Amino acid sequence: MIAYNTDWLDALLTKDTARKWHEKGLLSDEKWHIIQERHVSNFYSPNVFIRIGLAIFTLILLLAAGGLVAIVLEPNSDLGLSIFSLFCGAICIVVLEFKVIQPGRHFGSGIDDMLLYVAVWAILLGICNPLHYSTPALVYFSIAWPFLVVGTLRYLDRLMAVAAFICSMGVVLLLVAEIPHLAIYLLPLAGMLSSLGFYIFSKQGQDRFAWRHWHGILLVVELLSLATFYASGNFYVVQQVGVEWFQVEQAPLAWFFWAFTFVVPLVYIFQGVRQKDRHLLDVGLACVAVAVFSFRYYYHVMPLTWAAVIAGAVLFLTAYFSIRYLHRNEGSYSYEADSETSLLQEIEQQLIEQTIVNQPGPRPEKRESFGGGQFGGGGAGGEF
């Protein structure tokens, strides 16, 4: 299912885990170098600046090529434009699969990313272009959903995962919105239940070894599900949806949604501290800010500038005294990152010594190129 070489993906995961253990002092320099030598990944994955530059260059190149082909073919009708878009999307997929990923060994280089985005956009444009302008949004979401999910699973793309998640939530909410008389009551509940389902799915998926290559995708789903769960019961969101979709000025069960707006962030923070879950803590703190501004939108207790100053002072003092406390008191939490070695880490060290280090890694393939270039030519490489 995955388009990339899974052995190389495993090598990346092994080296990333070993690097973290080496930074914690669980692996000696010698063992760290052995792991690097025996677990070689031949992917071309440049740094973020080169990745952005290659993505922009690829987009310009694709637009130029598509423009030249459009000038020659002149697709004037809706049917002609659809065929042209589908053709461009298919060409992008073919180039991505057989020229960039397999022989080119690109993984998150910017070129494979942009080819994927342009291909999906062109295919969806070709399918949706013939539809009438009055076609419901649910139809567009339903058409886009399978392409976004396949793009996410096959190419391990997190941006596609965000789009697939939004599309999934859109399908659920638009279906519930069609229920007569009860939609205004069921929409918040549908959003909460859907988000809860996605959250449970992502947490269980991250614990499965067979799904290790999709760990980053599941992490994105986890964070988005926490955010949408809170948004589904936030008073401001519920009230605005009621006005825009149902022309109802006052949201039903206002007291419940006001309580939800302030209680859920506290629950996130409490559970994050209790479970030592950094993501729950981060999302909970963000939701606290959203709750304050939601209240401030309806009730002007003080000027916004004074409210921002007071909130900033409170957060600063809280952080300052928390850091001082963690410096002086050792316990389950520490201001110092990974200051002590746990029994689990000792077991992991023994495992990596007995299994990872002793396993023969894949031999690096000899590149058919002249010099150090990344694209088969001579000259300097792509790294700086």
- Residue 132: what are its φ and ψ, rounded to 5°? -70, 150
- C-alpha–C-alpha distance, residues 345 and 26, integer Å: 8
Convert the pLDDT of each residue in 6-34 to its tens digit. Answer: 989 988 888 888 888 878 777 788 888 88
Per-residue pLDDT, averaged over 365-375, amounts to 46
Determine the 3-state secondary structure of 233 from DSSP.
helix
- Which three-class secondary structure state does DSSP give residue 99? helix
- The answer to whether 51 and 108 have CB atoms below 8 angstroms apart is yes
**pLDDT-above-70 percentage for the chain:** 82
Which residues have a Cβ under 8 Å from the Cβ of 80 and sit 6 or more positions away? 73, 74
Domain boundaries, the chain: 303-359
In three-state secondary structure terms, 312 is helix
How far is CA 377 from its chain centroid?
A: 34
The pTM assigned to this predicted structure is 0.81
Nearest Cα to 177, choosing from 161, 163, 193, 188?
188
Query: Reduced to 3 states, what is the DSSP secondary structure of residue 44?
Result: strand
What is the distance between the alpha carbons of residues 61 and 59, in angstroms, rounded to a whole number? 5
Mean pLDDT of 183-203: 94
Please check whether residue 43 is in contact with residue 213, taking contact to mean a CB–CB distance below 8 angstroms.
Answer: no
User: What local confidence, expressed as pLDDT, does residue 332 receive?
Assistant: 52
* Residues whose CB falls within 8 Å of the CB of residue 216, separated by 6 or more in sequence, listed in order: 156, 158
CA angle 355, 359, 363 (to 5 degrees): 150
Q: Residue 195 to residues 225, 226, 229, 273: CA-CA distances in angstroms?
A: 5, 7, 5, 21
Q: For all residues of the chain together, what is the average pLDDT?
A: 83
Would you say residue 381 has pLDDT above 80?
no
**What percentage of the chain has pLDDT greater than the value 90?**
46
Confidence of residue 41 (pLDDT cuts 50, 70, 90): confident
Tell me: pLDDT of 375 over 60. no
Do 232 and 243 touch, CB atoms closer than 8 A?
no
